[in-house]
Amino acid sequence: MAVKRVLHYGEESLREPSKEVHKVSKKISDLIRDLFDTMYAQNGVGLAAPQIGVNLRVFVVDASTKDDPMDPMVFINPKIIKKSGAVKSTEGCLSFPEAYTDVVRYKDILVKATNEHGKQFVMEVKDGTLLARCIQHENDHLDGILFIDHCLNRFEAEEVLQKHNLPSIEPDKLLDEEELKSQIC
């Protein structure tokens, strides 16, 4: 379909909650193709619809590696229904070009979603894999939450943002994850 412009941190619609998708229509199929085209053009592993200015609950993921090949995946109206453990990792985001910081995510998740064919599925992802972290990252976008909101060190994250000429952290958006952070191995 088309490579779309990825919104950058500071653009308002990245903070807006997305609406549920009621039918996998041609419009949604086209959106999915645009998301994949844009994600691949930007060398990303995931992309959520709000990142291209479409506030619908849709994201795509291709967390395949040479050691762990997998098919690209589509998540429509995803819900993380179970989560446990904690893992620290360095994350970036296509909406934050070249900016990376340490965050904490759940190690194990169980997610329920609809695929591009309108079929519901449930997927368990364990051990803090790239896929587990990517699903959480993209799912957050659907709620207007950004990876920077999970930062482990606010001051280091702020330096990274300044270095890349991105807006400052929004202190009121930082997530209180002390219990989760205490579980990091």
The CATH number of whichever domain residue 97 belongs to comes to 3.90.45.10
Choose the catalytic residue: 124, 138, 158, 179. Answer: 138
- With respect to residue 1, please indicate whether it lies within any of the assigned structural domains: no
Domain-located, residue 151: yes
138 is catalytic: yes
The rounded distance, in Å, linking the Cα atoms of 113 and 119 is 8
pLDDT in the model for residue 184: 81
Q: Determine the Cα–Cα distance for residues 136 and 110; give it in Å rounded to an integer.
A: 10
Local confidence pLDDT in tens for the 185 residues of the chain: 799 999 999 999 999 999 999 999 999 999 999 999 999 999 999 999 999 999 999 999 999 888 888 999 999 999 999 999 999 999 999 999 999 999 999 999 999 999 999 999 999 999 999 999 999 999 999 999 999 999 999 999 999 999 999 999 999 999 988 888 888 85
**Looking at the domain assignment, is residue 28 inside a domain?**
yes
Q: Which amino acid is at 140?
A: D
**Domain extent at residue 125:** 12-181
Residue 41 in any domain: the answer is yes
pTM: 0.95
User: How many domains are contained in the chain?
Assistant: 1
Q: What is the pLDDT of residue 3?
A: 97
